[in-house]
Amino acid sequence: MNPNLQKGALVAAVVAFAILPTFLKSYGVYLCTLFCVYLMATYGLNLTVGYAGQMSLGQAAFFGIGAYIAAIALKAGLPFLVVLPIAAVACFAVGLALGFPALRVQHHYLAFATLGFNILVYLVMRNEEKITGGTFGISGIPRPSLFGLSLDGALPFFWFTLAFTLALIYALWWLLRSPWGRAFAALRDNPIRAESLGVNITAYTLLAFAIGAACAGIGGVFFAALVQFIEPAPFHFSVSLMMLLAVIVGGSGRFFGPVIGTVVIVLLPEWLRFMQNWYLAVFGFAVVALMMWLPGGILSLTDRFQAKGAAK
């Protein structure tokens, strides 16, 4: 496809999505906002999984840390735009501290470390009632206001979240196009070769993981402001699992992979409500099937068609 056409299609899609909630009821607007919030977390995870080639099973923990920091700080009266960097930096730092021991060793260790970390964070959220409110959670989290403009309404908050999500995605896109980001791809495709060319594997992977964690933290801040009431359940390990699967299903390492994956884990279950338990069961087995026939995720279908077209 011609690049200008591609750009045009992208802009049209974004504009359509931005207008869409004006036709929806409040629950629809909420879902669209939730979709954006999840996108921030899954885009961060795509950096870790798709570009640095590491499995992380703790994205929901960082998402939760961001949300709890936001809940506590916003209730204490700190402005939203101050809370955002605090949460991002905190998650980045925790990511470094967790990733360092795990990445020193080997591949799948980060998966296990993040899995355990998620369980631990969940326990802290549930048990440290003085700080986190335990299972009762924290309620009455205020929505931000921007330049004196209140974002209390569902629609203004959606646009605010969407704008921020797009900014974050653009920042990641820019990052991946920079020389620094190109080193990632080299690292994923052939780590040993990348290392012999002077790329410090551990440092790059660690940074990718920590940036991914920071993105989840930012997503968490928006999540807290969106739902205005947080408790430990949305940050359970199973949510991390769904986020990871979202990235993989969409196509890890593909820039628009997280969009497809997030549709599958956030929006589809809502449309398919009548299926209830069956949805997850089918989803689980569908992932197995996908790995067999399309290990590169849904977006790798395009490659396949192109390859077929070229063969003709």
The span of 16-24, 80-88, 110-118, 203-211 binding another protein (CB under 8 A) equals 110-118
Which position among 6, 7, 82, 101 is part of the footprint of another protein (CB under 8 A)? 101
304 near another protein (CB under 8 A): no
Q: Which of residues 227-266 bind another protein (CB under 8 A)?
A: 241, 244-245, 248
301 near another protein (CB under 8 A): no
Q: Which of residues 50-89 bind another protein (CB under 8 A)?
A: 53, 55
Query: Which two three-digit tokens encode residue 238?
Result: 């199973």
Query: Which two three-digit tokens encode residue 251?
Result: 């196509």
Residue 226 CA: distances (Å) to CA of 65, 67, 157: 15, 10, 8
267 near another protein (CB under 8 A): no
**SS3 assignment for the chain:** CCHHHHHHHHHHHHHHHHHHHHHCCHHHHHHHHHHHHHHHHHHHHHHHHHHCCCCCCCHHHHHHHHHHHHHHHHHCCCCHHHHHHHHHHHHHHHHHHHHHHHHHHCCCHHHHHHHHHHHHHHHHHHHCHHHHCHHHCEECCCCCEECCEECCCHHHHHHHHHHHHHHHHHHHHHHHHCHHHHHHHHHHHCHHHHHHCCCCHHHHHHHHHHHHHHHHHHHHHHHHHHHCEECCHHHCHHHHHHHHHHHHHHCCCCCCHHHHHHHHHHHHHHHCHHHCHHHHHHHHHHHHHHHHHCCCCCCHHHHHHHHHHHHC
The span of 14-22, 32-40, 108-116, 155-163 binding another protein (CB under 8 A) equals 108-116
Q: Which of residues 204-223 bind another protein (CB under 8 A)?
A: none
Q: Which residue's CB is nearer to another protein, number 72 or number 201? A: 201
Q: Which residue's CB is nearer to another protein, number 291 or number 301? A: 291
Query: Which two three-digit tokens encode residue 132?
Result: 């986190």
Strands 138-139 and 229-230: antiparallel
Residues 161-200, mask of contacts with another protein (x by CB under 8 A): -------------------------------x--------
Q: Which residue's CB is nearer to another protein, number 21 or number 232? A: 232
Q: Which residue's CB is nearer to another protein, number 86 or number 201? A: 201
Number of residues that bind another protein (CB under 8 A): 41
131 near another protein (CB under 8 A): no
280 near another protein (CB under 8 A): yes
Which position among 17, 30, 109, 256 is part of the footprint of another protein (CB under 8 A)? 109
Which position among 258, 283, 298, 299 is part of the footprint of another protein (CB under 8 A)? 283
Write down the least CB distance from residue 12 to another protein, Å: 33
8 near another protein (CB under 8 A): no
Place of tokens 């003085």: 130
Binding site for another protein (CB under 8 A): 53, 55, 101-102, 104-109, 111-113, 115-117, 119-120, 123, 126-127, 192, 241, 244-245, 248, 277-278, 280-288, 290-292, 295
